[in-house]
Structure 1
Amino acid sequence: MDLFFKYLTYEKRYSPHTLTSYQTDLGQFADYLAHTYQITDPAQADHTLIRSWIITLLQNKMEARSVNRKIACLRSYYKFLFKNGAISQNPMLKVTAPKAGKKLPAFLPQETMQQLFEQIEFPDTFEGWRDKLVLELLYGTGMRLSELIGLQENSIDLHQKTIRVLGKSQKERILPLHKSLENCIRTYLEFKTSAAGQNKPTMLLVTTKMQPLYPKLVYRIVKTYTGMVTTSKHRNPHVLRHTFATHLLDNGADLNAIKDLLGHSSLAATQVYTHNTIEKLKSIFDKAHPKA
């Protein structure tokens, strides 16, 4: 298992988030084998044991999407073992993934986002401007949480009005900065310089103790401020990424352009946002058409 995770880290160059997920999934499978069948090495499992684990997860009411992520982890693991001669047969060839229902990405309405940035007063302090910048970056660029936390000060080019983002598999992309976001960055950097003194960190977003921002704090910032303008239960950093993409599509942006902005490797991942737009069109049709 250690060799497998080294392979994912150094050869496949998986993101820290994906690595953590795979370590959790494979660890849970190893625990299941040890407790249920007294098997201490997952490499010894055959397809019947893998199927029994999948059935157990589904019986425990785990969503098919979550189960499929765990299956993807096992596929990678046993493919790695087979490729390196550790097993003579790949048991995953006889394992079928359960069908997952299509889930439309949750997003917040444009009016809600306007309220957030136009009516909510952020404190005129380092912390207040940092929180506002977190929200501006997530909604203004559609970047992922891991990309946000990994931003360096030199990722920003205020002259060119762009921001350099390091995405999945270390793929770099350049995103444009709108005027409001540019102004927010300038003000935040002034407060940060004043608060940090001579020990100014190179990371763009930091805590009040000048330590790198961490996921739990970003979740708290997003949940707190979006809670001031909506009662929706969908109030997390990824919802702002969905909101960014949906609002672009609603306002006529090209799907390929949205794909590039989001850093998707294929158009199929971006096309899920068209379903939200179709639902909106249906709603307009039902309200406006005499035959509806």
Structure 2
Amino acid sequence: MATNKDAFKDYLQLEKKYSSHTINAYLNDITYFESFNKDNFGQDTIEQVNYNQIRSWVVSLVDDGVSNTTINRKVASLKAFYKFLLKTKQIELNPLLKHKALKTPKILQIPFSEKELNAVLDITFETNGFEEIRNKLIIDLFYTTGMRRTELIHLKLMNINFSNQTLKVLGKRNKERILPILPVIIEQLLLYKKERSSLENIMDDEYLFLTKKGLKLNDSFVYRLINSYFSSVSEKVKKSPHILRHTFATHLLNNGADLNSVKELLGHSSLASTQIYTHSSLSELKKVYQESHPRNKK
């Protein structure tokens, strides 16, 4: 017999089109609360709970040393579940309706400088083996397209249009978008394809990026790759694929690109998501303004 959790899973997968990773995170958070509720309040189900029960769970998480960011994520999963139950008329009131998220510190994500990018792309690639060519292409693709890590991992050979110099990526909620690629990237892609074809045993042939064993890359592999290369040239705390995406957007804005164009390239559904990247371009504008305005030259 199907449960509300099963129906919620189908809803996230079929209607919201969330990734399997996101769906599993939601369901794990809900299951965790179910266990807490049963142990502390003796209820086998969580469909009918009051806010005090949920608040007790939040307090226990705080006492256990769980970060506010993680607690907010867990509560958000629960809130989504109750919104679904309300939508499907399984409950009459969302117990989290008036809940306020815990305060979290704002973490400033600092993009790489052009100097740091050039240091990685021009200095660290001294050999021409398969892995070096692949790694350079990965870094350059992140920087010149702003694609997400999962989009790069799932990029397929058939998604590249060499004649039009574009590639197709599958973004969040299975939304496709077409990205332009620079001539220098086309050259790198052709070189990489030649090296890739010489691999002895290709298992995941449809995917563009492979390990030397012929397997599709995974999240941790790509994260370690970026972190490793940029650790040698940058002292920034975060050195990840997302910082390269952040760098792509910031450098475009610094060089005159309009916000709407950057939004489309990044695959954001709203300008609000793109505006988080404007702090660096604003700093650049202030610098230009202060250096250029006549009133500041006296």
Q: TM-score, normalised by structure 1?
A: 0.89
Structure 2 counterpart of 1:32, from 36, 42, 61: 36
Compute the displacement of 1:88 (Å). Answer: 3.2
- Can you list the C-alpha shifts for 1:189-209, whole angstroms capped at 9, x where unaligned? 111111156867011111222
Which structure 2 residues correspond to residues 117-136 of structure 1 after superposition, within 5 A? Answer: 117-136=121-140
- Checking the alignment, whether the CA contact within 8 Å between 2:125 and 2:136 is kept in structure 1 is no
Structure with greater contact order relative to length (CA < 8 Å, sep ≥ 6): 1
* One-letter amino acid of the counterpart of residue 138, structure 1: F
Q: Which residue of 2 aligns with 1:184?
A: 188
In structure 2, how many angstroms separate the alpha carbons of the residues matched to 1:254 and 1:157? 26
In structure 1, how many angstroms separate the alpha carbons of the residues matched to 2:284 and 2:68? 27
Structure 1 counterpart of 2:97, from 93, 114, 134: 93
Structure 2 counterpart of 1:145, from 133, 146, 149: 149
Question: Structure 2 vs 1, CA of residues 198 and 29 (structure 1 numbering), >3 Å: closer, same or farther?
Answer: closer
Is 2:82 the partner of 1:78? yes
In structure 2, how many angstroms separate the alpha carbons of the residues matched to 1:60 and 1:200? 42
Question: Structure 2 vs 1, CA of residues 20 and 144 (structure 1 numbering), >3 Å: closer, same or farther?
Answer: farther
Is 2:226 the partner of 1:225? no
Compute the displacement of 1:53 (Å). Answer: 2.4
Compute the displacement of 1:76 (Å). Answer: 1.4
Question: Structure 2 vs 1, CA of residues 52 and 204 (structure 1 numbering), >3 Å: closer, same or farther?
Answer: same
Q: Which moved more, 1:187-196 or 1:64-73?
A: 64-73
- What is the CA RMSD across the aligned residues, in angstroms? 2.6
Which structure 2 residues correspond to residues 188-203 of structure 1 after superposition, within 5 A? Answer: 188-196=192-200, 201-203=205-207
SS class of match (1:213): coil
Compute the displacement of 1:34 (Å). Answer: 3.5
Question: Structure 2 vs 1, CA of residues 106 and 35 (structure 1 numbering), >3 Å: closer, same or farther?
Answer: farther
In structure 1, how many angstroms separate the alpha carbons of the residues matched to 2:281 and 2:66? 29
Q: Which moved more, 1:75-84 or 1:143-152?
A: 75-84
Question: Structure 2 vs 1, CA of residues 53 and 198 (structure 1 numbering), >3 Å: closer, same or farther?
Answer: closer
- Can you list the C-alpha shifts for 1:52-96, whole angstroms capped at 9, x where unaligned? 223344455555444333332222100111222332322121322
Question: Structure 2 vs 1, CA of residues 198 and 63 (structure 1 numbering), >3 Å: closer, same or farther?
Answer: closer
- Checking the alignment, whether the CA contact within 8 Å between 1:248 and 1:258 is kept in structure 2 is yes
Question: Structure 2 vs 1, CA of residues 155 and 106 (structure 1 numbering), >3 Å: closer, same or farther?
Answer: same
In structure 2, how many angstroms separate the alpha carbons of the residues matched to 1:236 and 1:64? 22
Q: Which residue of 2 aligns with 1:163?
A: 167
Q: Which moved more, 1:14-23 or 1:74-83?
A: 14-23
Q: Which residue of 1 aligns with 2:56?
A: 52
Compute the displacement of 1:283 (Å). Answer: 6.2
Question: Structure 2 vs 1, CA of residues 123 and 46 (structure 1 numbering), >3 Å: closer, same or farther?
Answer: farther
Compute the displacement of 1:261 (Å). Answer: 0.4
Unaligned runs of 5+ residues in structure 1 are none
Percent pairwise identity = 38
Compute the displacement of 1:215 (Å). Answer: 0.5
SS class of match (2:92): coil
In structure 2, how many angstroms separate the alpha carbons of the residues matched to 1:180 and 1:239? 22
- Checking the alignment, whether the CA contact within 8 Å between 2:37 and 2:43 is kept in structure 1 is yes
Unaligned runs of 5+ residues in structure 2 are none
- Checking the alignment, whether the CA contact within 8 Å between 2:204 and 2:216 is kept in structure 1 is no
SS class of match (1:143): coil
Question: Structure 2 vs 1, CA of residues 266 and 199 (structure 1 numbering), >3 Å: closer, same or farther?
Answer: closer
- Can you list the C-alpha shifts for 1:116-171, whole angstroms capped at 9, x where unaligned? 11111253222222222221121111111111111110111111100101101111
SS class of match (1:175): strand
In structure 2, how many angstroms separate the alpha carbons of the residues matched to 1:222 and 1:250? 23
